Structure 1
Amino acid sequence: MKYVLIPMILFSILNCSTPKKNDSINGYWMQEGYGVYLEISDSIYKMYDVTEMSCQPSASGSINNWSDSLSTLLDLYNISSVNSQSMVLEYGITSYKFNKLSAPLKRCDSPIIESTDPKLNFDVFWHTFKENYAYSKIRKVDWDMLYEENIPLITKETSQVELFGYIAEILDAIKDEHISLRVPDSISNAYLAIRVPPEQQENPSENLHKGNIPEKNVTYKDPRSKAMKRVMELFPETKFKSYHKDLIRWGKLNNSIGYIQINGFNGFSKEVVINDTLDHDDYWEKHWQLVFKAVEDGKTLGQYLRDEVSGMKRIKESILSEFSKSSGLIIDLRFNPGGTDKVALDFLSSFTKGEKKAFTKRVWNKGESSFESSVFIPESPREYDGQVVVLTSPQTGSSAETFVLASQQLPNFTLVGSNTMGIFSDVLQKRLPNGWNYGLSNEIYQTDSGENYEYTGIPPHHKIEYSRNWYHFHKSIIELTDSDPAIDLSLAILGKRLN
């Protein structure tokens, strides 16, 4: 999963020139498609999350405080352009456009700081999705109808548990893995205790399939980590190596074909050191605890992200040097739910020469597409020029899909597996007045030919029938006995091309 870092930094000490005096960055700015209002006065910023009816201090994941000195973020963003009407800021692979306002935004004179009012919270939630969610048409969501159905049920007496139920049911029915709603355990547990089971409802939500998880207390990580490991066990003669527990594994399947299993595009920083003897869940819980603590202790997000890219490049160069004489390579992304787009595209850059356009990104702004920018596979020394097969599944998501989408611009890449998950946008993070955090997709990824693979996923060149249910997919891999059909097919494809 990807999280959008709402850009507020207004100039960078690297790779950009200082704006002219008549192009001052001071003033009032509205960001296109993100529901963000920004006030800048000399070296101080104030950032707000806004809808047509609300204004709140920002809940952006890139900042610790909604108002602070710009110096805290000077190493994050570059100014691509700035004039008297607009400015474009760049971070990672993304460009963000801000339009200049002639006066302060009136509704932010008295922003909502905190409120448990049920109707106010529902209205903020509804307006945010109505104005910024990019895939209502594709996923067949009628926000006006949902408002008419739910708002009569919400009164001043509506409890927070009941409010959670109304919102959660709406979001569950959309079936978008990039939508999230995070509430205190006391709220979610209380709701689960009183909720009528779907099979007893007159019109149960379509996404609540009975029997999706046939065993109690099965979490996403349980079958996933076992499936990742099972692929290794099918090749007992191969001496696999690994980095950061099971983030990335690699080895030669035979004398001419290399294999790389990349299980995420986050977690590469070599600054985070943990004992590899811990089991999968404990290792990654400890990893992210250390990352969050470092940020809390003063490490900037810019430093963390540079560490991620640096760690990825270091291990990538080491792996590809081992495979330099291999005539074919299999990159397994079947268990990769995503991470950071920049990490994904920087990894891919070693397979092409020079900068190459990958796709475009547009933002959704109050019912229509808005600012568009082109995304490129960055220029990098080419470290591998052989034939490559990429393995995909319905659990290949987010920035792993960004990797797959961009790889289609490279003639030596072939896809084997099933359609990917179909969730591309960064996650736009927001917070309700009662403190609940939530996220949604507001960006549209498209190929030069106009293809948008949201919801359907990217189709493979050679299909393997995998279940789109996460549990059953991983279970099918765990239960493999003698061989892996996707790898067998990949070896056959590479064998034909090499002969």
Structure 2
Amino acid sequence: MGCYLTNRDPEKNFEALWKTFHRRYPFFQLRNVDWCKQYKIYRPRISSAMSDEALFEVLCEMLDPLDDGHVEITARLGQRKVKKHFTAEKEPRFYRELTERQIKRLFEVARSTLTANGFGPYSKTKAWMIRYCRSREFGYMRILELEGVSKKRVSMALDEISRDFPSLKGFIIDIRDNPGGEDSIALMIGNRFADRVRVAFHRRSKIGPGAEDFTPLRTWQLTQQGNVQFTCPIILLTCDAVFSGAECFALALRELPHVTILGEHTNGIFSYQLEKKLPNGWDYSLSYQEYLSADMVCYEGRGVPADIGLLNTKADLDTGVDPLIIRALKILSQQDSRVSV
């Protein structure tokens, strides 16, 4: 019983969470949060007599200004152990504009827009998260996420798709509403579109409280993979509901000279989540890695920018036409005509 009471001690749990963020979270300055000031504000509100519910509320208030979707707390509160979940993420514009049902409808609209422009049905690939179809001149691939499938199956799916590469003049890759996943899978896909070896991105992990307390910088590369690569014009469709590993995919592809990013900036949370547990058993997580572009720019908090800005709205559901697909096809057709002249 004594150990249980000790583990539930609000002061001990507050200190544990604050110190972990103090040592491991890299983005206080970037996100305009003075973490020591947060301690001075919120530590006096912690007492050994406070309830679990009150502690949860204070921790959430302290973390909320970080505006980081990888900052989360999950607790079970009260006698019934009701699960409560908090994230510091502010809802992306894409999700404010469209409900879950409307997003599903939007991708039906995208599918019908492709059909109206000469694309055939989706081909069944070996990887469930890759959907592919083509017209006579152009290919389209939607990537739903970047995990939950073996690398072998991803490679087999890409092998199938790449058989069409020689007969295509342009390609659309759609990562809108992609929650992310594994960097390694992102690069596996990106490698099929690489023209040569290029720096994809750099990464380092926060390991201490000092401003420069990071692991040595590591570099990831795009390298040509597969029997054939597609190096004709590519349009990458994005929105601000593109997260984490999918953002790393965008960060890598923007280094390719034949890629144009169309849509909206990505969300701006690149790191894997560092998952931890408080002494009272609550789970929490935080970003702990800093990703940098090939030219050493950190896009945390602002996302990978689009080359051409264009937003999906509810009006697209009424018109039954996806404007991003239409614009992508127009750009590809124009680039193809310039090449043909």
* Alignment TM class, shorter chain as reference: 0.7 to 0.9
The answer to whether the Cα contact below 8 Å between 1:321 and 1:383 also exists between their aligned partners in 2 is: no
May I ask how many residue pairs the two structures share in their alignment?
A: 323
Instruction: Return the match for 2:182 from 340, 345, 350.
Output: 340
> What residue number does 2:222 align with?
377
> What residue number does 2:108 align with?
229
Deviation at 1:384, TM superposition (A): 1.8
The answer to whether the Cα contact below 8 Å between 2:194 and 2:223 also exists between their aligned partners in 1 is: no
Q: Report the residue type matching 1:139 in the other structure.
A: R
| CA offsets 1:249-298 (integer angstroms, 9 cap, x no match) | 2212x320111111101122xxxxxxxxxxxxxxxxxxxxxxxxxxxxxx
Distance in 2 of aligned mates of 1:373 and 1:234: 41
Distance in 2 of aligned mates of 1:264 and 1:342: 13
| CA offsets 1:371-416 (integer angstroms, 9 cap, x no match) | 2111112442343222111001001111111111111221111110
Instruction: Return the match for 1:164 from 39, 53, 56.
Output: 56
Distance in 1 of aligned mates of 2:90 and 2:261: 28
Task: Determine helix, strand or coil for the equivalent of 2:55.
Answer: helix
Q: 1:378 to 1:426 in 2, by over 3 A?
A: farther
> What residue number does 1:455 align with?
301
Q: Report the residue type matching 1:262 in the other structure.
A: I
**Larger mean Cα displacement after TM superposition, 162-171 or 339-348:** 162-171
Distance in 2 of aligned mates of 1:372 and 1:160: 40
> What residue number does 1:470 align with?
none
Task: Determine helix, strand or coil for the equivalent of 1:385.
Answer: coil
Instruction: Return the match for 1:489 from 313, 317, 327.
Output: 327
Distance in 2 of aligned mates of 1:213 and 1:489: 23
Q: 1:170 to 1:227 in 2, by over 3 A?
A: farther
Deviation at 1:129, TM superposition (A): 0.8
> What residue number does 1:315 align with?
157
The percentage of aligned residue pairs carrying the same residue is 28
Instruction: Return the match for 2:30 from 138, 147, 160.
Output: 138
> What residue number does 1:129 align with?
21
Deviation at 1:246, TM superposition (A): 6.5
Task: Determine helix, strand or coil for the equivalent of 1:115.
Answer: helix
Distance in 2 of aligned mates of 1:401 and 1:384: 21
> What residue number does 1:425 align with?
271
> What residue number does 2:136 align with?
255
Q: How does 1:281-430 map to 2 (within 5 A)?
A: 308-364=150-206, 365-369=208-212, 370=214, 371-381=216-226, 382-430=228-276
Deviation at 1:189, TM superposition (A): 5.0
Deviation at 1:230, TM superposition (A): 3.2
Distance in 1 of aligned mates of 2:303 and 2:218: 21
Deviation at 1:324, TM superposition (A): 3.5
Instruction: Return the match for 2:11 from 110, 119, 143.
Output: 119
> What residue number does 1:498 align with?
336
Q: 1:222 to 1:178 in 2, by over 3 A?
A: farther
The answer to whether the Cα contact below 8 Å between 2:74 and 2:83 also exists between their aligned partners in 1 is: no
| Alignment pair present for 1:442 and 2:334 | no
Q: How does 1:101-250 map to 2 (within 5 A)?
A: 115-184=7-76, 189=82, 207=90, 222-237=101-116, 238-243=120-125, 247-250=129-132
The answer to whether the Cα contact below 8 Å between 1:317 and 1:383 also exists between their aligned partners in 2 is: no
Structure 1 segments unaligned to the other structure (5+ residues): 1-111, 193-204, 269-307, 467-472
Distance in 1 of aligned mates of 2:315 and 2:12: 45
Distance in 2 of aligned mates of 1:222 and 1:497: 35
Q: Report the residue type matching 2:37 in the other structure.
A: M
Deviation at 1:325, TM superposition (A): 0.8
Deviation at 1:213, TM superposition (A): 6.6
The answer to whether the Cα contact below 8 Å between 1:361 and 1:443 also exists between their aligned partners in 2 is: yes
Deviation at 1:130, TM superposition (A): 1.2
Deviation at 1:436, TM superposition (A): 1.2
Structure 2 segments unaligned to the other structure (5+ residues): none
Task: Determine helix, strand or coil for the equivalent of 2:237.
Answer: strand
Q: 1:456 to 1:311 in 2, by over 3 A?
A: same
Q: TM-score, normalised by structure 2?
A: 0.85
Q: Report the residue type matching 2:146 in the other structure.
A: F
Deviation at 1:355, TM superposition (A): 3.5
Distance in 1 of aligned mates of 2:324 and 2:33: 35
| CA offsets 1:116-146 (integer angstroms, 9 cap, x no match) | 1111111010011111111111111111111
| CA offsets 1:310-345 (integer angstroms, 9 cap, x no match) | 111111111222344111000001121201110001
